[in-house]
A = this chain, B = another copy of it.
Amino acid sequence: MATISDVAALAGVSTATVSRVLNGKSTVDTELVSRVREAARALDYRPNTVARNLRRRDSSVLSLVISDVENPFFTAVARGVEDTARAAGYSVLLGNSDEDPDKERAYLELAGQAQTAGVVLSPTGPGTALPEGTPPVVAVDRPLPGGRHDAVLVDTRSAARLATQHLLDQGYQRVACLTGPPGVHTAEDRLAGYREALAGRPELVRRSEFKAAGARQASELLFGERDRPDAVLVANSAMAIGLLETLAQQGLRIGEDVGVVSFDDVPWASLVHPALTVVRQPAHEIGRRAAGLLLDRIGSVRGEAHTVVLAAELVVRGSSTREV
């Protein structure tokens, strides 16, 4: 690979001039500009971004640390981040923390050491701490403890309340809530919304990790008991899979025997029968807004932390009604 000195030598100028031409800084004689351009082309020169970043003490890559790459919600967030990052000339380094605080920490360390310009992070839990040297952070989906950081969240509590209320309105009597692990903000928030809607009715709560396997186990317990629920609010789409598998296995008809509302609209929601009623979160927009906030923060270090709270939308389909 040709270096800047090779280009300078071929063009008969100093490396400083080459740098100026290539970065469009200050003004350079048009004659020299074309000589440099030509030399660069002739040598098929590409600037070494590592060297550039070292010198400039920043870079044009953002880190994105998410808790589950196989979750379509986070995948859509990632696209949102990538889209606005790209438009601003940034690229995105993705890390999958897999809900593991150790992995999360490793990726945050990397973000700092690798001179990443900033990070979009969906924290694994309340224990998330930012290592020394971490660049500006925007939290998504879940807030960072301390509230000193920008965040893009969803009003998932109201959504859970509305969803639960909807099930009650449809005549379901024993509405259960299948939510995520204790301490995880989204899990607690959805649970809180559920409780609000219940308004004193007996509650029926089960927890598992945000994966299909855990939700299947929890569902089996839930429906193995004497006082079965006749409706379930489930906290994400992976868990919905575990729940629906269990219902099918037990011969329970969705909608008719058991009303279901799941968080996250997924492409297959309309393909199951009856179609799945969901709480649709604006995942792509979350990513776009987060990247936007981060870019602002990188541009000018203003003080206050901004928290953007987006609304979720209840999309009613067949799984939450008996009038099929």
Listed in ascending order, the chain A residues whose CB lies under 8 Å from chain B are 1, 44, 46-51, 53-54, 59, 61, 69-70, 72, 75-76, 78-79, 82, 86, 91-96, 103, 106-107, 109-110, 112-115, 131-133, 212, 238, 241, 244-245, 248, 266-268, 270-273
Q: Among B72, B115, B238, B273, point to the contact of A48 (Cβ < 8 A).
A: B115
Q: Which of A1, A76, A78, A94 has the most CB of B within 10 A?
A: A94
Q: Are A107 and B79 in contact (CB under 8 A)?
A: no
Query: Please, which residues of chain B bring their CB within 8 A of the CB of A266?
Result: 268
A75–B69 CA distance with the chains assembled, in angstroms: 7
The minimal Cβ–Cβ distance linking A24 to chain B, given in whole angstroms, is 18
Q: Are A271 and B114 in contact (CB under 8 A)?
A: no
Q: Are B113 and A48 in contact (CB under 8 A)?
A: yes
Q: Among B46, B107, B268, point to the contact of A271 (Cβ < 8 A).
A: B268
Query: Please, which residues of chain B bring their CB within 8 A of the CB of A273?
Result: 272-273
Closest to A92 in B: B94
Closest to A270 in B: B245
CB within 8 Å for A133 and B238 given contacts A50-B53, A96-B82, A109-B46 = no
A91–B112 CA distance with the chains assembled, in angstroms: 14
- The 26 sampled A-B contact pairs (Cβ below 8 Å) are A1-B133, A44-B132, A46-B133, A48-B54, A49-B114, A50-B53, A50-B113, A50-B115, A51-B54, A61-B114, A70-B75, A70-B79, A75-B75, A78-B96, A79-B96, A82-B96, A86-B103, A91-B93, A91-B106, A212-B267, A238-B267, A245-B270, A268-B268, A268-B272, A272-B273, A273-B273
The minimal Cβ–Cβ distance linking A60 to chain B, given in whole angstroms, is 9
A17–B52 CA distance with the chains assembled, in angstroms: 27
Q: Which of A44, A93, A241 has the most CB of B within 10 A?
A: A93
The minimal Cβ–Cβ distance linking A311 to chain B, given in whole angstroms, is 23
Query: Please, which residues of chain B bring their CB within 8 A of the CB of A48?
Result: 54, 113, 115
Closest to A241 in B: B267
